[in-house]
Amino acid sequence: MGWKDLFRKNKKQSPETDPLKDYHLKKLEPGYYVDYDMKTWQVTSHDIYEWGSGDITHEWQLKSADEIIYLELESDDEDYWSISRKIAFSRLGNAVKNYLMKHDDPPDEINFEGTLYYLEEMGGGKFLKNGTGSGKELLSWDYENDSGDKLLSVEQWGEEDFEASVGYPVEEYQFLNILPGKREDL
């Protein structure tokens, strides 16, 4: 075996990756950077929701300066991407919490800031911080407005511990320049 054969053999064993082409939105990891909405965001966590139905939702926390958003991916027959921002649950008004406490079910409609949201989906599951551990149990209710361009989510983490978020659907092509970065104490 000559020197040329030795090098040829090694090339076949270690396929090269293109760092500018081989990074995809689905593969974001803490420390990575991505451009969205004319800002550069750093991925600070990659969390997983495991639903009782066997479905999985991926959620990446993205931070840019002093702003935090959440990028979610649900896969069914096709990928469904959305962006959300946490809001104080109290902004939904006392009627929502009172309804949940009285009926053990969410209301069919929520009016928030002049938009009427309709219950689309509900489920129970586990939240795994950074995709590890045994998970923390939760109940979740997802709402949409008539046109489906505004989303609202309510999560229950305990007897009286509720969180809410508002958001909108996005497309994968809206996220550009995915680059790896060092994971420092994020």
| 22-40 pLDDT tens trace | 688 999 999 999 999 999 9
pLDDT of 18:
61
State which residues form the domain around 64.
Answer: 25-179
Residues 6+ apart with CB under 8 A from 146: 116, 118
On whether residue 63 sits in a domain, the answer given is: yes
On whether residue 19 sits in a domain, the answer given is: no
pTM for the full predicted model:
0.86
Sign, Cα dihedral of 115, 41, 86, 121: positive
Q: How many domains does the structure of the chain reveal?
A: 1
Q: How far apart are CA 45 and CA 55, in angstroms?
A: 20
What pLDDT digit, counting tens, does each position of 107-121 carry? 999 999 999 999 999
Three-class SS of residue 152? strand
pLDDT of 20:
55
On whether residue 186 sits in a domain, the answer given is: no
Hey, what long-range contacts does 124-129 have (CB within 8 A, 24 or more apart)?
124/51, 124/52, 125/49, 125/50, 125/51, 125/52, 126/49, 126/50, 127/47, 127/48, 127/49, 128/47, 128/48, 128/49, 128/50, 129/45, 129/47
Residues 6+ apart with CB under 8 A from 106: 96, 99, 100, 119, 122, 141, 154
On whether residue 13 sits in a domain, the answer given is: no
On whether residue 159 sits in a domain, the answer given is: yes
On whether residue 3 sits in a domain, the answer given is: no
CB 43 within 8 Å of CB 60? yes
CB 70 within 8 Å of CB 60? yes
On whether residue 121 sits in a domain, the answer given is: yes
On whether residue 16 sits in a domain, the answer given is: no
CB 167 within 8 Å of CB 20? no
In percent, the amount of the chain with pLDDT more than 70 equals 86
